[in-house]
Amino acid sequence: MMASALLVNAQKITIKGSDTVLPLAQKEAEVFMKKNAGKSVTVIGGGSGVGISALLDNSTDIAMSSRKIKMDERMKLQDAGRAFKEVIIANDALSVIVNPQNKVSKLTRAQLEGIFTGKIKNWKEVGGDDMQIVVYSRETSSGTYEFFKEHVMNRKNYASSVLNMPATGAIIQSVSQTKGAIGYVGLAYVTKEVKDIAVSYDGKTFTMASIENAKNKSYPVVRPLYFYYPTSKEAAIKPYLDFILSVEGQKIVDQIGYIGLK
């Protein structure tokens, strides 16, 4: 009886974490389940930090994360005797978005740092109209929040005036409805309701976020997307993981706006 209960369990996989990875993990799960009758994959968002916490308290089989696991999280898992593995499943370009009515179409990394730290408060300071900048960010449990702070803001703190949003969709909605707004989202989330802007790290070459520019490395804000899972559950997780990393799985990565590993 015990063996059959374990067998049923092995057919169910729960994935929790990053909002950025969410649409990708869902689409991969959908195709995987069609090909593998009897296997069930449930995908839940909430942020990278939420996923890694769920890994620690054993309430998920896989934690999806848009940032690398932190040292303190690694130590907690080690102290709990939970050996884990890390796999990069895809890459993601992080788009900087503004309201479509905004005439600003490009910003340097230094200007973005100024805007998100609160030093630059008006669009006229970066070539736009005389209009207050309304800054939207993800909340602190988000891997995207961490990545943007580290790689775009040079590890400086976000301004206290920044409006933290619980999910990527909320940033898209807020930026689309607020004329002076700016925010950042994974490339796969960008819609016609917002305007994607070109970014430059050297102040000379401005590049738009796109799959092509991320692959040829001309777009500077690109990061890996991770799965973390307990080594003890590897046998149950492996078929789904192998599917994502297969040629077909990586085609899905490109199709829905992420950057394949090949």
Give the pLDDT score at 11: 84
d(CA 224, CA 236): 24
Give the pLDDT score at 10: 54
Give the pLDDT score at 259: 95
d(CA 107, CA 122): 14
Residues contacting 170, CB < 8 A, separation 6+: none
Low-confidence ranges of the chain (pLDDT < 70): 1-10
CA angle 30, 33, 36 (to 5 degrees): 155
- Model confidence, pTM: 0.89
Structural contact between residues 232 and 61, judged by C-beta atoms closer than 8 angstroms: no
CA nearest to 195, candidates 125, 100, 260: 100
The number of beta carbons lying within 10 Å of the beta carbon of residue 126 is 17
